[in-house]
A and B are shown apart, each in its own frame.
Chain A
Amino acid sequence: MIEFRSVSKEFPDGTRAVDDFSLIIPSRKTTVFVGSSGCGKTTLLRMINRMVDPTSGQIEIDGDDIAAAPPVQLRRGIGYVMQNSGLLPHRKVIDNIATVPLLTGVPKKKAHADALELLDRVGLDRSLADRYPSQLSGGQQQRVGVARGLAVNPNILLMDEPFGAVDPIVRADLQNELIRLQRDLDKTVVFVTHDIDEAFLLGDQVVILQKGAKIAQVGSPTEITENPASEFVASFIGVDRGKRALSIKKTAHGSILIDGEGRAAGRLVTASVDNVVASE
């Protein structure tokens, strides 16, 4: 469990990126920070591995204040995946994945064997192990980035818009892969995105943020869709328009669902509530 307690961050230039933020991030669930550009998502995420230290307030991991933890040790125990993979361009894929294990003294043979298994895990062919990052596609680089984040078998995985720079088809692929991985691995994932669809797809807990990391609403995708806390949330998640604004239209052959643009979105069938929840 990660707990933010009245955390604020003011950068030296006076920007107040995070203003009195409190939240509990449950273990073994995916929590998604979503909000528009500059609202403080990355700053929040980077406070968890002490890449940014709060100006005031505390952050606890499993009850221990992280301010007391040496940053390097803390970071080695937390997986971190960023938008542009952040791979070391002068190292082969396999050495990139094994970077931290090698730093912490895992024998090279074992680190490499583990790295190959991680390649399988993230759906990459082992033949890519000897390539350099520049010889991979953007989507492949992101997968390697995820593999590197998993290399120390961390309890916590931080992901900052990891799929932001790939095309929609590859992104959908990577999202499904992450859902599958998370089913097997059961990590505490903290995921940052500005795409509400991605947030609803991946998140068990979704945190909608406004400027200064002010929480507009926290909840499961179902809760937020059912009951948006404010005008802002309603318009941010788009329940008032587009493909989330569904209405029923009776036709000669039954009822169909129409989206905000008047296009047919689907057919109305009766579903048990359980099914609806499971598909979220």
Chain B
Amino acid sequence: MNYFLDAIQWIFAPVWVHGKSRIVNDIIQRVGEHVGYTLVSVAIATAVAVPLGYLIGHTGKGKQLAVGLSGAARALPSLGLLTILALAIGIARAPIAAVIVFFLLGVPSILAGAYAGLETIDRSTIDAARAIGMTEWQILTKVEIPLGLPLLLGGIRSAALQIVATTSLAAYIGLGGLGTYLFAGLGTHDFAQTLGGAILVAVLALAFDAFSALFQKFAVPRGVAATQAKEVRIRPHRPRAVVGTPTS
């Protein structure tokens, strides 16, 4: 309990440091770095995994390969990979190494969310869309993507969560982020700082998750949400938040 109080105290006793243009709270700066790495990695992972996932989901081809590679990527130990990559491409380009590792971490969930989203759509819905004269592109954009959205967003959400937690490792190769406090505290036996850092990571992860949940709620079109809700025939319903968990 004492550690915990110490940690809270540590969080609220700001250390002022020189930022780019003015003096800022060190914690704010670290949070900024942390969020920055997370967003960049999630964005790149999304940009790569979504088209790939859609290709697999729409054509039904290449799924075995994707599952295999995703499994392999998931099994990679992040810390080890980060160290090796940073050493291999040079510590000066360490940020690139970090983003590559976090990207690899995020791809499997997003890929799975993208193709599972398409895969779970009733075949007869797609067949009917084709039979009334939609082009393949229209089937993808007007049927498959909207109907697959809940699972895709679920995939991105879990990728973001994993990355936000793992970004703590960035500090291990001197890139800052909230991990700085974990490693610094461990090094100096300043457990208030370690615990404080851990609490901040946890709070940030929760904030990310809450934000993703809200985004999911508002980004899923009403009609798509309606298809997910049950017992809709009993009375006029309100769409509820759709939480999709991709399976792979």
- Count CB-based A-B contacts (< 8 Å): 76
Q: Which residues of A contact B128 (CB under 8 A)?
A: 80, 82, 85-88
CB of A194 closer than 8 Å to a CB of B: no
Chain-B contact segment, one of A15-23, A89-97, A178-186, A265-273: A89-97
Q: Which residues of B contact A175 (CB under 8 A)?
A: none
Q: Which residues of A contact B44 (CB under 8 A)?
A: none
Q: Interface size class for chain A?
A: 20 to 34
Residues of B contacting A: mostly = helix
Interchain CB contact under 8 A, A51 and B131: yes
B residues 134-157 touching A (CB-CB < 8 Å):
134-135, 138, 142-143, 146-147
Interchain CB contact under 8 A, A99 and B132: yes
Interchain CB contact under 8 A, A89 and B223: yes
Chain-A contact segment, one of B102-110, B171-179, B195-203, B225-233: B225-233
Q: Which residues of B contact A72 (CB under 8 A)?
A: 133-135
CB of B26 closer than 8 Å to a CB of A: no
Q: Which residues of A contact B138 (CB under 8 A)?
A: 103
- Give the B interface residue count (CB, 8 A): 24
Residue interface mask B219-248, A partner, CB < 8 A = 1 = 001011011000011000000000000000
Interchain CB contact under 8 A, B135 and A86: no
Interchain CB contact under 8 A, B147 and A90: yes
Counting chain B CB atoms within 10 Å of each CB, which of A72, A77, A88, A99 scores highest?
Answer: A88
Question: Can you list 14 A-B pairs with a CB-CB distance of less than 8 A?
Answer: A72-B135, A75-B130, A75-B132, A82-B131, A88-B125, A89-B125, A89-B223, A89-B226, A89-B227, A90-B147, A90-B226, A103-B133, A134-B226, A149-B132
Please report A residues at the B interface, Cβ cutoff 8 Å. Answer: 46, 49, 51, 72-77, 80, 82, 84-92, 99-100, 103, 132, 134-137, 148-149
